[in-house]
Structure formats: structure tokens, C-alpha cells
């Protein structure tokens, strides 16, 4: 049974497929104590969270069976991605499900901020009819500065335009052309700060965006401008914001998020110019159902051996691209596994060359799988699709991927080359139409071998009798030869023999093979 721990409140409707699965044991346990969480995670295969559960390195280290962490939402700043990646745990999120709700919430905050709605309501509750105090400003004709023009930033822009605001946006991935298409003005961060009557941030919280809006940047803003944060506490430096409002430089702020949550007794909340909600951007029935459904789908897919749609710690691949790549996954892994078992010395570099049908395809996922196949020789299951590149990098191994026009007559060809401190070796493989995977080259030798089962690779001199002696010796050890391929570069010179046999070659037989005249090296492996 696959155990899925859900440690934050999630939409019941959204997680229904998971609740109804026969092979999954859902454990719904929001608000666990730290000790209980450590205990529950220790036997779980998957963890699903929103923003409350802090998925720390410690938690990940207590989860020997964990394969996937699902974040029912966008921001993954509550998950230690490095720790998850190191352990080969895939992290997925639900990036699309709460975009509209968060954009709508931002607009609600924008309008409330412009018209002092929460403050006025609060006064009414105090039985005070105050009108003069709550004179607001119109949105029409004002400039909305957007920092972070991704999904939510863009949706906010479209809504702001509906209010006839001018929109200027900054995002490292935004250019004039994209901005024009979205109907907004493109500016650098400084332009946005200087021109905004209202400034709203919609970036993730990462090192580069921590305190992106700080004392210096606020100094650049128009006196009387207003600031919104419905993204993450920490993007705006709270102390600087507090001072700027207190001094009257900034007219007000609308905050849905805080550096530390829950923010019950926050100094900013003592300022009448600040309106706030307790991280409600995504809190709608629709958004919660969407994100729960999306994340459950990925969790169930992965646990059942499928591929996920929204990986965070490895690049995502479109389904169209996946259709093109998936036939080659096994071939890439086998080529990597085969070559690493043949090579000697400390691995320094891996080069992967693609040609033929693979020329116009994003082959990075195949390279990652080839690298996984290579590293698994020494690391076993500790290396997987998620951490293959990361593991290689940590070990100082250089990975290089290239497209090549040399197809050697095949419609598709993958050549994996390994450089160690001792040698450089390579193997090439192809997918033959209707016949499946084949290894077609080993170093300089052309061969034709199915990369599966027990293999013997023999380097020998091309002399009469060599093949016969190998066959006889294997027969003495009751080892049946399924296929045999011989490759040579010139008559009487060095040659290679690759045999597939029906059972594993034991040490004794291996040693006798290595002792045969004209045989230079014998390597036995199982793929
Ligand atoms: N209040 C709430 O309940 C919610 C908050 N969020 C927060 O909103 C954030 C944005 O969400 P999406 O728009 O869906 O993400 P997104 O990934 O579509 O957009 C984020 C954008 O920020 C940009 N960016 C990154 N670094 C930047 C920088 N230094 N300066 C300017 N732009 C930068 C990125 O290029 C990207 O286009 C999330 O990371 C999450 O933290 C998301 C959903 C709900
Ligand atoms: O889970 C939530 O309600 C918070 C949503 C959020 O902040 C996000 O998706 O990044």
C-alpha cells in the first residue's frame, strides 16, 4: 500500500481521486506536532502540503521511503528543495490552479486600499459614521507597477487595464514584444518604482527577491504611492515599509503575506494605513479544488511509475515532447549503465551526442537518464531522474550534450562517451523500427547487441580459434550463448566479442575466460 501523508488542510473534493484509490492509503493529518510529523513521515511514500507545513531537511531526512512532495499551490519556499533533490525526491506544485483567485484577491486588495474599505467598515462597527477620514483615490488613470510578470502578475495587469489603469511591469523574462502583446509597458525595476502610484509584487520568494523592495527602492517611489504584497512576505522589507508609512512617504499598504506567519501581532498591523488578510490569496473553493486535484494527479502518477506534469526540482517536459522522448528512455539508461560497467578509473566527464531523428528534440531528459544509468553503477537507487545532474555536479563530473550530424546510417543514434582519469570509452545505440533498442557501436567497433540481460564483453586478438575456445569454456560451465557479435578494425588485429548469455557468469568461469590465449580483457555484466 502506498502511504500518502496530507499534512495541511486540502479540498476534500480535490483529493477525492486519492481517497478512492485502492492502492493508496491516505493519511489526513493537518496541524501535527513536530514529533508526530516526524513519526508519520517516516513510513510515508508521498507528502502533500500547502504553505503551513515546513518541509525541512530534518523532515526529509526522517523519510526513508519518500518519493514525492506535492505542494498544493505555487510557492515552494516552505520546502527545502536542495534537501529533496539530494535525496532524489521529486517536488511538484500546482502552478495554475490558484492564479485567478490570487489575481482577484490582489484586485480586491487594490480597491480596498484605494478606498479604505476595511478601515471604514471597522469604524462603522465601532458605531462611528466617518466620511471625511476615508476619502480615497480613483484607479482610473493611475499607474500600477507590477514586479514579477508571471501568471498572477499578468492576470492582475489585465484586470487593472479593465479599470483603465496604466500598467508598467518588470520581470527578467519580459521584453518589449511580450509586454506589447500583454498590453503593458515594459520597464526596468527602477522605472516601475519611479512611475507606480500602486506597486504590486508577484515574484517567488527566492534569494534574488528577498527584500527586493527595500529602503532604497522605496526612496525611488513617488511620495504618496501605495504598495501591495499578495505574493510572499520577505519580498518587501517589512521594517522599511513600516518606516515609510509611518513617515508618510508611502500612503498605505495592502498585505496578504508576511515574513513570519501567522502574523498575529505584527507592527505593520498597528498602522491604520495598512490593510491585511491572513494569506488568503488562494483561499477560494475553486482554487483549493484545482490545486488539490492537480497535485493529487501528479502524486498518484509518480507513485504508480508514471510521469508528473508539474515538477519543480527537474525541468518539465510537454506531453508532445514526452511522446517523442519516451521510446528512448530505456535505451539511454542502458547505454549509460553498459558503458559505466566497462570503464575503469574515476569518472570525470560524460559527453552525449544525438543525431538523426533526435536532432530537433530537447534531449536533456535523455542525457539525465543516461547520466543516471552511469552513476547507478556505484550509487544504486540513491541516484534517480531527479538528482542525476545534481549528483554528477556535486561529484565534479562535467556533463556535456551535443547534436551531431553523424548518423552512421541509422535513423536515430545516441552515443554516450565517458572520460575517466584512465581512459575514454564510448558506446552508441539506436532504436530500430519494430526491433527495439540495439547497441551498434562499442568504442571503434561496430556491433549489434540487444542491451538486456547478461553480457560478456571480451577484448581479444583476431586469431583463429579464439571464438571457439570461448564457446567451449562457456559450454563447460553450462552457460548457453544466446547471441554473439564480433567486431574488428582490421584482420588479425584487436577485436571485440560481445556475447549475451542465459545466466550470470561466475567468478571461476570469468577467470578462466581471461586466461585464454589471445584474450586481453573479459568484462561480465548484467543490464
Ligand atoms: N497569496 C497567496 O495565497 C499566493 C501567493 N502566491 C505567490 O505568488 C508568486 C507568483 O506566482 P505565479 O505568478 O503563479 O508565479 P510565476 O512563476 O508564474 O511568476 C513569477 C514571476 O516572477 C518573476 N521573477 C523572478 N525573479 C524576479 C525578480 N527578481 N524581479 C522581477 N520578477 C522576477 C519570474 O520571472 C516570473 O515571471 C508565487 O511564487 C507565490 O509565492 C501564489 C499563489 C497564491
Ligand atoms: O496554500 C495556500 O493557501 C497558499 C497559496 C500560496 O501561497 C501559493 O500557492 O503559493
99-276 shares the fold of 2-96+286-303:
yes
Residue 345: DSSP 8-state: S
Domain ranges for the chain, please list them.
Answer: 2-96+286-303, 99-276, 318-449, 453-527
The answer to whether the CB of 74 is under 6 A from ligand 2 is yes
Number of other CB atoms surrounding residue 27 within 10 Å: 17
* Alpha-carbon gap, residue 63 to 41, rounded angstroms: 5
Express each pLDDT in 254-274 by its tens digit. 999 999 999 999 999 999 999
The answer to whether the CB of 283 is under 6 A from ligand 2 is yes
Residue 311: DSSP 8-state: B
Express each pLDDT in 414-427 by its tens digit. 999 999 998 999 99
Residue 42 scores a pLDDT above 90: yes
Q: So what's the architecture of 2-96+286-303 in CATH? A: 3-Layer(aba) Sandwich (3.40)
β-pair type (143-147, 90-93): unpaired
Q: So what's the architecture of 453-527 in CATH? A: 2-Layer Sandwich (3.30)
More confident residue, 336 or 88: 336
Residue 490 scores a pLDDT above 90: no
- Average confidence (pLDDT) over 420-445: 94
Q: In percent, how much of the chain has pLDDT > 70?
A: 100
* Dihedral angle sign, alpha carbons of residues 200, 206, 209, 210: positive
* Alpha-carbon gap, residue 162 to 131, rounded angstroms: 27
Residue 381 scores a pLDDT above 90: no
The answer to whether the CB of 51 is under 6 A from ligand 2 is yes
- pLDDT-derived band at 317, boundaries 50, 70, 90: confident
Q: Is 444 exposed, middle or buried (0-12, 13-18, 19+ CB in 10 A)?
A: exposed
- Which atom of ligand 1 is closest in space to residue 280's alpha carbon? 3
- Average confidence (pLDDT) over 236-251: 98
Cα(53) to ligand 2 centroid in Å equals: 12
List, in sequence order, every residue forming a beta bridge with 55; answer none if it has no partner: 79
More confident residue, 319 or 481: 481
For helices 151-162 and 99-115, give the axis angle rounded to 10 degrees: 50
Average pLDDT, the chain: 95
Say if CB 47 and CB 5 are below 8 A apart. yes
Residue nearest to ligand 1 atom 1, measured at CA: 281
User: For a pocket test of ligand 1, which of 203, 257, 258 has the largest count of ligand atoms closer than 8 A to its C-beta?
Assistant: 203
Residue 261 annotated as catalytic: yes
Express each pLDDT in 147-181 by its tens digit. 999 999 999 999 999 999 999 999 988 889 989 99
Residue 218 scores a pLDDT above 90: yes
* Alpha-carbon gap, residue 148 to 170, rounded angstroms: 6
Check 50, 159, 186, 232 and give the catalytic one: 232
- pLDDT-derived band at 316, boundaries 50, 70, 90: confident
* Alpha-carbon gap, residue 94 to 296, rounded angstroms: 9
Check 104, 239, 259, 261 and give the catalytic one: 261
Ligand 1 binding residues, C-beta < 6 A: 73-75, 95, 98-99, 102, 147-153, 170-173, 202-205, 208-209, 212, 230-232, 256-257, 279, 281-282
For residue 267, what pLDDT is reported? 98
Q: What are the two backbone dihedrals, phi and then psi, of residue 86, each rounded to the nearest 5 degrees?
A: -55, -40
Which residue, 415, 480, 404, 409, is CA-closest to 444? 415
* Alpha-carbon gap, residue 149 to 403, rounded angstroms: 34
Residue nearest to ligand 1 atom 37, measured at CA: 150
What 3-state DSSP class applies to 35? Answer: helix
For residue 452, what pLDDT is reported? 93
Q: In this predicted structure, which of 19-28, 152-161, 301-310, 423-432 has the lowest mean pLDDT? A: 301-310
Q: In percent, how much of the chain has pLDDT > 90?
A: 85
Check 87, 279, 377, 415 and give the catalytic one: 279
Which residue, 383, 388, 346, is CA-closest to 366? 388
- pLDDT-derived band at 304, boundaries 50, 70, 90: very high
- Average confidence (pLDDT) over 480-493: 91
* Alpha-carbon gap, residue 44 to 505, rounded angstroms: 39
For residue 388, what pLDDT is reported? 93
- pLDDT-derived band at 6, boundaries 50, 70, 90: very high
Cα(218) to ligand 2 centroid in Å equals: 26
* Alpha-carbon gap, residue 449 to 334, rounded angstroms: 12
Residue 407 scores a pLDDT above 90: no
Residue 438 annotated as catalytic: no
Q: In this predicted structure, which of 89-98, 314-323, 341-350, 399-408 has the lowest mean pLDDT? A: 314-323
Q: What are the two backbone dihedrals, phi and then psi, of residue 57, each rounded to the nearest 5 degrees?
A: -55, -40
Express each pLDDT in 100-109 by its tens digit. 999 999 999 9
- pLDDT-derived band at 22, boundaries 50, 70, 90: very high
ipTM summary value = 0.99
For helices 466-476 and 507-515, give the axis angle rounded to 10 degrees: 160
Which residue, 291, 378, 286, 302, is CA-closest to 340? 378
What 3-state DSSP class applies to 97? Answer: coil
Would you state the torsion angle of the CA atoms of residues 308, 309, 314, 318, taken in this order, to the nearest 10 degrees?
120
Q: Which fold has domain 99-276?
A: Rossmann fold (3.40.50)
Q: Half-sphere exposure (CA, 13 Å, Cβ side) for 290?
A: 17
> Any idea which ligand is nearest the CA of 257?
1
- Average confidence (pLDDT) over 389-405: 92
Cα(497) to ligand 1 centroid in Å equals: 56
Q: Tell the CATH superfamily of the 318-449 domain.
A: D-3-phosphoglycerate dehydrogenase; domain 3 (3.30.1330.90)
Residue 512 scores a pLDDT above 90: yes
- Average confidence (pLDDT) over 293-312: 92
pTM: 0.80
Residue 45 annotated as catalytic: no
Amino acid at each position: 500500500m502506498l502511504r500518502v501523508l496530507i499534512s495541511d488542510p486540502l479540498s476534500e473534493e480535490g483529493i477525492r481521486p486519492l481517497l478512492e484509490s485502492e492502492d493508496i492509503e491516505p493519511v489526513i493529518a493537518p496541524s501535527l506536532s513536530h514529533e508526530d510529523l516526524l513519526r508519520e513521515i517516516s513510513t510515508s511514500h508521498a507528502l502533500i502540503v500547502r504553505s503551513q507545513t515546513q518541509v525541512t531537511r530534518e523532515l526529509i531526512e526522517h523519510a526513508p521511503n519518500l518519493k514525492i512532495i506535492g505542494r498544493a499551490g505555487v510557492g515552494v519556499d516552505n520546502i527545502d528543495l536542495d534537501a529533496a533533490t539530494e535525496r532524489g525526491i521529486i517536488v511538484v506544485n500546482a502552478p495554475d490552479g490558484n492564479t485567478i483567485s490570487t489575481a482577484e484577491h490582489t484586485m480586491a486588495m487594490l480597491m480596498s486600499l484605494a478606498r479604505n474599505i476595511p478601515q471604514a467598515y471597522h469604524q462603522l462597527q465601532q458605531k462611528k459614521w466617518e466620511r471625511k477620514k476615508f476619502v480615497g483615490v480613483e484607479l482610473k488613470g493611475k499607474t500600477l507597477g507590477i514586479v514579477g510578470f508571471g501568471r498572477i502578475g499578468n492576470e492582475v495587469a489585465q484586470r487593472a487595464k479593465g479599470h483603465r489603469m496604466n500598467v508598467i511591469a518588470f520581470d527578467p523574462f519580459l521584453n518589449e514584444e511580450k509586454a506589447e502583446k500583454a498590453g503593458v509597458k515594459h520597464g526596468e525595476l527602477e522605472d516601475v518604482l519611479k512611475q507606480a502610484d500602486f506597486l504590486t509584487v508577484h515574484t517567488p520568494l527566492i534569494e534574488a527577491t528577498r527584500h527586493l523592495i527595500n529602503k532604497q527602492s522605496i526612496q525611488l517611489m513617488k511620495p504618496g504611492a501605495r504598495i501591495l504584497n499578495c505574493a510572499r512576505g520577505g519580498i518587501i522589507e517589512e521594517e522599511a515599509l513600516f518606516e515609510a508609512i509611518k513617515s508618510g512617504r508611502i500612503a498605505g499598504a495592502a498585505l496578504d503575506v508576511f515574513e513570519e506567519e501567522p502574523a498575529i501581532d505584527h507592527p505593520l498591523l498597528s498602522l491604520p494605513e495598512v490593510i491585511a488578510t491572513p494569506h488568503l490569496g488562494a483561499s477560494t473553493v475553486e482554487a483549493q479544488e484545482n490545486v488539490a486535484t492537480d497535485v493529487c494527479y501528479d502524486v498518484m502518477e509518480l507513485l504508480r511509475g508514471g510521469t508528473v506534469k508539474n515538477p519543480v526540482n527537474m525541468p518539465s517536459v510537454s506531453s508532445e515532447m514526452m511522446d517523442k522522448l519516451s521510446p528512448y528512455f530505456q535505451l539511454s539508461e542502458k547505454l549509460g549503465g553498459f558503458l559505466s560497467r566497462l570503464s575503469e578509473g574515476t569518472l570525470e566527464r560524460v559527453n552525449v551526442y544525438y543525431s538523426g531523428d533526435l536532432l530537433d528534440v530537447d534531449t536533456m531528459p535523455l542525457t539525465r537518464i543516461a547520466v543516471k544509468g552511469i552513476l547507478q553503477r556505484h550509487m544504486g537507487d540513491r541516484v534517480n531522474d531527479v538528482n542525476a545532474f545534481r549528483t554528477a555536479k556535486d561529484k565534479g563530473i562535467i556533463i556535456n550534450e551535443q547534436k551531431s550530424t553523424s548518423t552512421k546510417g541509422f535513423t536515430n543514434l545516441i552515443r554516450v562517451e565517458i572520460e575517466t582519469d584512465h581512459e575514454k570509452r564510448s558506446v552508441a545505440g539506436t532504436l530500430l523500427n519494430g526491433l527495439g533498442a540495439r547497441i551498434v557501436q562499442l568504442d571503434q567497433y561496430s556491433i549489434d547487441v540487444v542491451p538486456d540481460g547478461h553480457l560478456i564483453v571480451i577484448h581479444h586478438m583476431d586469431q583463429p580459434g579464439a571464438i571457439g575456445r570461448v564457446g567451449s569454456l562457456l559450454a563447460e560451465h553450462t552457460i548457453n550463448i544466446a547471441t554473439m557479435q564480433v567486431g574488428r578494425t582490421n584482420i588479425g588485429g584487436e577485436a571485440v566479442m560481445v556475447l549475451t548469455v542465459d545466466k550470470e557468469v561466475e567468478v571461476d568461469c570469468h577467470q578462466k575466460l581471461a586466461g585464454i590465449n589471445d584474450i586481453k580483457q573479459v568484462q561480465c555484466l548484467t543490464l
